[in-house]
Amino acid sequence: MHIILVPDCKATAKTLNVSPRLLIVLIVGFLGLSLATSLLLAWVGIRFDLPFASELVAPVRQVQQLKQQEQNLKVEEYVRDNVSSMAAKLGAMQAQVMRLDSLSERISKLSGVNVPKPETGSKDGKNGKDGKDGKGGPLIRLSRPLSVNELQTEIDRLSNVVEQRSEELTALESQLMERRVKAVLLPTAMPITADHIGSVFGRRIDPIAGIGAMHEGIDFVADPGTPVFASAGGIVQTAEYHPQYGNLIEIDHGNDFSSRYAHLSKINVKPGQIVKRGQLIAASGNTGRSTGPHLHFEVRFRGVAQNPARFLQKNTQMALDASDLTGAAPGPGNNEGAPQVAVLKGLR
């Protein structure tokens, strides 16, 4: 680009050559200077609160206010949705806690096992007989709904309560299972349907030798071939002939308990076999050192003979419940019929 300059005082003209690059630099510099000047004027106007600056900034402020209002509306809507969801969750958790409390109370009453409760009061019992804090007063409802933080706090508290109730029910289940296992493994079921008792546990005159001796079991008088049932579940340790006991079965019930069934005419189990409470294991007879057909029944703890009457007369209902758990077939080991009642009376 050629620019010709003609001054008034001189006759000769001057020519100025402007390249495209220089022209672009000049335009960019002019625009930059204009922008810097505008920003400077705007800053001065805003800093010193000049009228013309307020008019220039007003549209910008309106746009910002609109954006802020829109954002606030979105936040409020999000909070309302969260509060509604949290309130619904809180109500569901409260209902769950009530159901768990009711279930725990019913199970405790039916089973007779007390549900372990945490101590909520002082240990010295100053806050009540049971150490629980006394609380009460008139009901005054809040005029405003719970905030998000208050709802979250209440949800956290109920979560802890639900977890605590679950642990209590788990402990109750463990106690019930332990009770059922003990019921299944203790020899408390009648082993035979007997007519009467021939000899009880304790000192007696030996029927063969005619001298004083210790009788370590109970003799149930019954016809030969009368079914004999396991008094409790366990593992067969011995199933063989013995010179004194005749055909003998010994069952290990665990926890150092075992039972013996002697003078049998027939053995239906083998050593190492697992038997259930009330399972048919043999038939009564008159083998070994015996004066007549009967079943000699012993209960031993750590190898020491115990009085079987202590077990047969104790927790009869618990033994019946345990037979339901094992699913054993009906028989003298599972039923409390008239012959068994008469025999148990004869043991006293």
**Are 32 and 99 contained in the same domain?**
no
Residue-number span of the structural domain to which 242 is assigned: 196-347
Closest C-alpha among 318, 334, 238 to residue 279: 334
Say whether 68 sits in a helix, a strand or coil: helix
The first and second tokens of residue 219, run together, are 């003799």
**Are 177 and 311 contained in the same domain?**
no
Helix axes 316-326, 148-185, angle to 10 degrees: 100
Residue 136 falls inside a structural domain: no
Residue 213 falls inside a structural domain: yes
**Are 42 and 72 contained in the same domain?**
no
In angstroms, how far is CA 98 from the centroid of its own chain? 16
Residue 122 falls inside a structural domain: no
Last residue of a domain, one of 122, 157, 185: 185
Please report, in angstroms and rounded to a whole number, the separation of the first and last CA atoms in the chain: 136
Residue 59 falls inside a structural domain: no
pLDDT, tens digit only, all 348 positions of the chain: 566 656 666 556 666 676 778 778 888 888 888 888 877 766 766 665 656 555 655 676 677 778 888 877 777 777 677 777 777 777 787 887 788 777 777 777 766 666 655 544 444 444 444 444 566 666 555 555 666 677 778 778 888 888 887 787 777 777 777 777 776 678 888 999 988 899 999 999 988 888 999 999 999 999 999 999 999 999 999 999 999 999 999 999 988 899 999 999 999 999 999 999 999 999 999 999 999 999 999 999 999 999 998 888 754 444 444 444 334 433 444 443 434 444 555 554
**Are 220 and 333 contained in the same domain?**
yes
In the chain, the number of structural domains is 3
Residue 340 falls inside a structural domain: yes
Residue 191 falls inside a structural domain: no
**Are 43 and 103 contained in the same domain?**
no
**Are 279 and 319 contained in the same domain?**
yes
Query: Any idea what the CATH number is for the domain that residue 256 is in?
Result: 2.70.70.10
**Are 75 and 43 contained in the same domain?**
no
H or E stretch including 246? strand 246-254
